[in-house]
A and B are shown apart, each in its own frame.
Chain A
Amino acid sequence: MNAEAGRVRSLLDYYVTRGRTQIQAQFQYRAATYFWLIGMLAEPIVYLVVWTTIAEQQGGSVQGITTGEFAAYYIVWTLVRNMNIVFTPYGWEWRIREGQLSAALLRPLHPLHDDLAGFAGWKVVTILLWLPIAAVLWVAFDPVLDPTLLEVAVFSLAICGAYLIRTMFLSSLGMITFWTTRVGAIFELAIALELLLSGRLVPLPLMPDWAQEVANFLPFKWSFYFPIDALVGDLSRGELLGGLAMQLLWIVVLTGLTMVVWRFAVRRYSAVGN
């Protein structure tokens, strides 16, 4: 028990230290980070302007979603998208193809810890920089957002769950590079599915029924739409907790898949060039 507690303490120490080094590195490039953030925000603002215009033309709402609710959806979208950014399969491809994984493999720690801790530190900076932008969007688009304490609590957990789901999903996808050397095409296909079935492009209630049904059985909804809906929507206590349970299920399934793939994949690593 003591050894296990020591292990957890050490891992926590690693996460804090790695997160801190990433924050320091990120502060060195704060201007670049800010411009990146502004670029990232262009996407939801386009969606927001389009849906607001449509809603106004249809008498103030689209299928019951008002302009204020659209504004709330897409402002929260920006934060969830921030939490969704993880080490991509392109990164895995570079790591494996160029032999950059070698340094990570020599450490007595799974490389996924480095990814999780590093991106967590990165998010601290981007979320800090996001706050004033969110304030401007709030003033400009006048969102309708009145969450309960439980919704805020579930949202806080759900964005962390979303981070884990997407990390595990994209990591297992990225590890395909161990067999194929390139994974870009598969990644683009997954992104196209994710755009449609996660609520990133269009809020899921605006999608056909069959698409909403399919989305329930894929991880995308649980890493994007559910966290937004938890804060913006009007979910019951059962739906909120049920959503967290679905996230937990996906985390377990995808972590298990990642571990199995890793076990076989790492034997194929050829450490080319490094």
Chain B
Amino acid sequence: MATVRVLGLTKTFAVPEREAGLRAAAVSLFRRTTREVRAVDRISFEIGPGEVVGFLGPNGAGKTTTLKMLSGLLYPSSGEATVLGHVPSRRERDFLRQITFVMGNRNQLQWDLPALDSFELNRAIYRIPREDFTRLRDELIELLEIGDLVRKPVRQLSLGERMKVEIVGSLLHRPRVLFLDEPTIGLDVTMQKRIRSFVAEYNRRYDATVLLTSHYMADVEALCRRVIVIHHGEILFDGELARLGDRFAAWKTIAVDLDDGAGDFSAYGDVVERDAGRVKLRVPREETARVTARLLAEQEVQDLTVEDPPIEDVIEMVFAQEANER
């Protein structure tokens, strides 16, 4: 049975609109105009138990709105959603006890107190038996190596340090479903890696289902086998991350090491990089085999590799393609 089931889920917002200036402000006193914005448009998908899914899309694509509907923060305009068999918008206690929603830019901890006090508050909120609470708290603190941070007032922690204690606080009730919205935003590379491996470990240990949004493709590549790409509120792709390139990348990169890289290679494809004996060519996907064969036949090739474009580029292509089709 799917942990997350979404069927035709839609959210529209009525956004007030008016021109700039005093005159427009005066007119809006008597005649308010609103525009209906469809942030999420009839999306459907399912996520199984223990799955880690990346939710990708540019700003304003509808990712966070979807996560908010799935966590019960927002009431959907239409469509259906169930998480662990619960309808999120009903915000039943039993449902809220089994999920967590971490937002990279939000603070849920008591600002003036050490994080340990906020953890204690979460114990009371989620009714965690004292023994289980102490064991899991210490386990998570050790896993993220934040023993020295949890005794400092939260306001004195750096952004990265705060994010780590924030994540521990969000997991103390051992949620079965994690909604992670940009959990590594603004963090340095080391901190991003630490949080990534922590999420992977939590998923492995507790078989938790994770739905993650991130603008850092490294997060997605490290954690998610499956991605859902959303743009203008609609799902453009739902499948294995590895298949994303097959579907959307119109080209591949051929990197060739040569005895003599001095010649003209433009006949094989677009030369995107050239460095002494190494040439990188961009060729249409369907031409890859033919160009490779020609290169091997016509040049003194030492080594040759064919690569899919970096995932960032693929995503960019997905959105560019979608924009052109609109």
Instruction: Give A105 to B124 CA distance when docked, in angstroms.
Output: 16
Knowing A107-B96, A270-B13, A274-B106, say if A17 contacts B68 (CB, 8 Å).
no
Q: Scan residues 41-69 of chain A and give those whose CB is less than 8 A from a CB of chain B.
A: none
Knowing A106-B96, A108-B126, say if A271 contacts B74 (CB, 8 Å).
yes
Knowing A24-B117, A102-B73, A274-B103, say if A109 contacts B125 (CB, 8 Å).
yes
Q: Does B194 contact A (CB under 8 A)?
A: no
A234 CB to nearest B CB, Å: 43
Contacts of A274 in B (CB 8 A): 103, 105-106
Residue pair A21, B120 in contact (C-beta under 8 Å): yes
Q: Does A94 contact B (CB under 8 A)?
A: no
Most A CB contacts (10 A, CB to CB) among B71, B99, B101, B127 go to B127
With both beta carbons as reference points, the residue of chain B lying nearest to A16 in the complex is identified as: B124
Contacts of B97 in A (CB 8 A): 108
Instruction: Give A21 to B117 CA distance when docked, in angstroms.
Output: 7
Sort chain A's interface into a size bin.
Answer: 20 to 34
Chain A contact residues: over half helix, strand or loop, or mixed?
Answer: helix
Q: Does A28 contact B (CB under 8 A)?
A: yes
Q: Does B144 contact A (CB under 8 A)?
A: no
Q: Does B91 contact A (CB under 8 A)?
A: yes
Contact with A along B82-103 (1 / 0, CB 8 A): 0000000101011011011101
Q: Does B265 contact A (CB under 8 A)?
A: no
Residue pair A103, B117 in contact (C-beta under 8 Å): no
Q: Does B43 contact A (CB under 8 A)?
A: no
With both beta carbons as reference points, the residue of chain A lying nearest to B15 in the complex is identified as: A270
Instruction: Give A37 to B154 CA distance when docked, in angstroms.
Output: 26
Instruction: Give A267 to B91 CA distance when docked, in angstroms.
Output: 11
Residue pair B73, A106 in contact (C-beta under 8 Å): yes
Contacts of A269 in B (CB 8 A): 73-75
Contacts of A10 in B (CB 8 A): 124, 127
Residue pair B125, A14 in contact (C-beta under 8 Å): yes
Residue pair A21, B121 in contact (C-beta under 8 Å): yes
With both beta carbons as reference points, the residue of chain B lying nearest to A15 in the complex is identified as: B124
The residues of B with any CB-CB pair to A shorter than 8 Å are 13, 68, 71-75, 89, 91, 93-94, 96-97, 99-101, 103, 105-106, 108, 110, 112-113, 117-118, 120-121, 123-127, 153
A-B contact list, 20 entries, CB within 8 Å = A17-B120, A21-B113, A21-B118, A25-B110, A25-B113, A28-B113, A102-B106, A106-B72, A107-B96, A107-B125, A108-B97, A266-B91, A267-B89, A269-B73, A269-B75, A270-B13, A270-B74, A271-B74, A274-B103, A274-B105
